[in-house]
Amino acid sequence: MTALISLPILLPLFGAALAIGLGRWRIAQRLVSISTLTTVTATSVALLIRVDHDGAAAVHAGGWRAPIGITLVADRLAAIMLLVACLMLLAVLVFAVGQPGAERQHVGFHPVYLILTAGIAMAFLTGDLFNLFVAFEVTLMASYVLITLGGRPDQIRSGMTYVVISLIASTIFLLSLAFVYAATGSVNLADLHTKIAALPDGVRSGLAVLLIVVFGIKAALFPLFFWLPDSYPTAPTPVTAVFAGLLTKVGVYAIIRTQTVLFPPDTQPGHLLLIVAGLTMVVGVFGAITQNDIKRILSFHIISQIGYMIMGLGLFSLAGLAGAVLYIIHHIVVKTTLFLVAGLVEQRAGTGQLASLSGLARAEPVLAVLFLVPALSLAGIPPFSGFVAKLALVDAGIGGGEYLIVAVSLAVSLLTLFSMTKIWSNAFWGPPASHPAGPPRRAGLALMTGSTAALVALSIAIALWAGPLYALSERTAADLINPTSYIETVLGR
């Protein structure tokens, strides 16, 4: 069990070191990255099965016991997130290998990509706040390099915004850590559960809001989302896809983890999270409607979708959290796919601007299908995964009597559909435009299309096996609502 929990962090770091050493041999680098990620994915499958069967497990690094040492904890939520993240990282890596661009031109791509993997895995598995900060920094450092890979002027400009805003978020995180430590004398999440409950109401609310602000910047919650649509679209496609699918969700994971373990439902600041969720949905989707570039439209949709996950958390019920977990699983897969498709469109047509795209459906029918399935899924049209996830959330909202947020979420779904049809009718319908001829069909294109198709298949599989997945989400939500077993596992009582 110790190996299962620590491997997803250690293995990518070793892989990264190896990949730096093999910098001169690209084939060897690829072998290292792909085999590392495959092993980590296999590990996380094993971890999820074990955790779902036996309950949460903890590892104390260096043998220092819980409240003092660094603790790694795997419970159902962490294991699910880890598995989905690994699948995305693997698929996007295959896409990157096939794509002429970032991966081929830069020796640093593979090592940095693996470090990003390690950071994300650490953020999911860590059991204390300070280690979460370190995990965020590892992830961010890797993401700074990836987002500016290539060093074009527009990348430098938008990368600068991203780096500065992330740095400020990290500084506020450090500040809230100092406050948490000063108030309680601990940073271990399980230990903090009892210690924070003993604090006066005002201090507790202050800490809760500070942590929401910190993770809200990372998750791009209203009103802290301005950096996202500016910085994501300029990065190379595989990088944008991974960031869109995973990085904001690491923030959402941190919000869910801290709000459920540290701040019990009865101490929550009223409807704050629901209001933020509603505004995030609405503002994000309105932003998307005004845009004219595929990647920018999709970037604004990330923001809008984050609102749904926070809505599930804000309901603070078993059904709400289960819906949020299911929604995150669906969203990570679908969003990554959409960005990969946007990359394929750009590759084929030479641009992502809607005004200069036309008639791709006739020229590239496979591409059209690959776009249509995740797009309809994002909007929540019935047979696809988005429908199942949204149904779970809406059901939870009605069950909790929060009719306003349910109405908002349904209206936003409609607007999402509108925005997706805008891409569809502009880029895919109409007479074929005189696009510069795409690159000749090579193995690279097959890899790119293949990995995108695999993700589309995965999102359809989510819809097909929605029953077992929802049951798993419900078990996860039960752990979150009642964190006793998590705390007992960590503190070893």
Partner 1 sequence: MTVLLVIVAGALCACGTYLVLGRQLSRVVIGIGLLGHGVNIVLVLSGGDGGDPAFAGDDPSGFADPLPQAFVLTAIVITFGVIAFLLTLAYRSWLVTADDEVEDDVEDRRIATRPHTPHRENQP
> In whole angstroms, what is the distance from residue 394 CA to residue 315 CA?
11
Q: Can residue 188 be called a binding residue for partner 1 (CB under 8 A)?
A: no
- The residue (of 151 and 440) whose beta carbon lies closer to partner 1 is 151
Distances (CA, A) of 461 to 207, 282, 334: 40, 29, 12
> In whole angstroms, what is the distance from residue 442 CA to residue 450 CA?
12
**Bridge partners, 60 (sequence order):** 71
- The residue (of 166 and 459) whose beta carbon lies closer to partner 1 is 166
**Bridge partners, 58 (sequence order):** 73
Interface residue with partner 1, options 51, 120, 163, 445 (CB under 8 A): 163
Contact window for partner 1 (CB under 8 A) among 21-29, 78-86, 135-143, 315-323: 135-143
Q: Can residue 106 be called a binding residue for partner 1 (CB under 8 A)?
A: no
- The residue (of 41 and 240) whose beta carbon lies closer to partner 1 is 240
Q: Which residue has the tokens 């939500």?
A: 477
Q: Can residue 240 be called a binding residue for partner 1 (CB under 8 A)?
A: no
Tokens matching residue 174? 């450090």
Q: Can residue 267 be called a binding residue for partner 1 (CB under 8 A)?
A: no
Q: Can residue 118 be called a binding residue for partner 1 (CB under 8 A)?
A: no
Q: Can residue 434 be called a binding residue for partner 1 (CB under 8 A)?
A: no
Alpha carbon of residue 291 to chain centroid? 22
Question: Within 13 Å of residue 137, how many CA atoms lie on the same side as its CB?
Answer: 13
Q: Give me the least distance between CB of 369 and partner 1, in Å please.
A: 23
Q: Give me the least distance between CB of 465 and partner 1, in Å please.
A: 39
SS3 at position 400: coil
Q: Can residue 42 be called a binding residue for partner 1 (CB under 8 A)?
A: no
- The residue (of 49 and 167) whose beta carbon lies closer to partner 1 is 167
**Bridge partners, 72 (sequence order):** 59, 126
Q: Considering only CA atoms, which of 285, 391, 379, 289 is closest in space to residue 335?
A: 379
Interface residue with partner 1, options 3, 42, 49, 167 (CB under 8 A): 167
Cβ count near 24 (within 10 Å): 8
Q: Can residue 160 be called a binding residue for partner 1 (CB under 8 A)?
A: yes
344 near 371, Cβ under 8 Å?
Answer: no
Which residues lie below 8 Å from residue 227, measured CB to CB, with a gap of 6+? 161, 162, 165, 217, 220
Interface residue with partner 1, options 28, 46, 61, 141 (CB under 8 A): 141
Interface residue with partner 1, options 46, 107, 230, 395 (CB under 8 A): 230
- The residue (of 174 and 213) whose beta carbon lies closer to partner 1 is 174
Interface residue with partner 1, options 117, 260, 291, 347 (CB under 8 A): 291
> In whole angstroms, what is the distance from residue 256 CA to residue 241 CA?
23
Q: Can residue 359 be called a binding residue for partner 1 (CB under 8 A)?
A: no
Q: Can residue 143 be called a binding residue for partner 1 (CB under 8 A)?
A: no
Q: Can residue 446 be called a binding residue for partner 1 (CB under 8 A)?
A: no
Q: Can residue 168 be called a binding residue for partner 1 (CB under 8 A)?
A: yes
Q: Could you write out the DSSP letters of every residue in 404-447?
A: HHHHHHHHHHHHHHHHHHHHIIIIISSSPP-PPPPPPP-HHHHH
> In whole angstroms, what is the distance from residue 331 CA to residue 220 CA?
15
Q: Can residue 426 be called a binding residue for partner 1 (CB under 8 A)?
A: yes
> In whole angstroms, what is the distance from residue 356 CA to residue 427 CA?
8
Q: Considering only CA atoms, which of 289, 428, 418, 422 is closest in space to residue 345?
A: 428
Q: Can residue 153 be called a binding residue for partner 1 (CB under 8 A)?
A: yes
Q: Can residue 171 be called a binding residue for partner 1 (CB under 8 A)?
A: yes
Q: Give me the least distance between CB of 352 and partner 1, in Å please.
A: 11
- For the chain, what percentages of helix, strand and coil (3-state, to nearest 5) are there? 80, 5, 20
Binding residues among 391-420 for partner 1 as defined by CB under 8 A: none
Residues at the site binding partner 1, with contacts judged by CB under 8 A: 68, 130, 133-134, 137, 140-141, 144-145, 148, 151, 153-154, 156-161, 163-164, 167-168, 170-171, 174-175, 177-179, 181-182, 185, 187, 229-230, 233, 290-293, 296, 355, 358, 426, 430
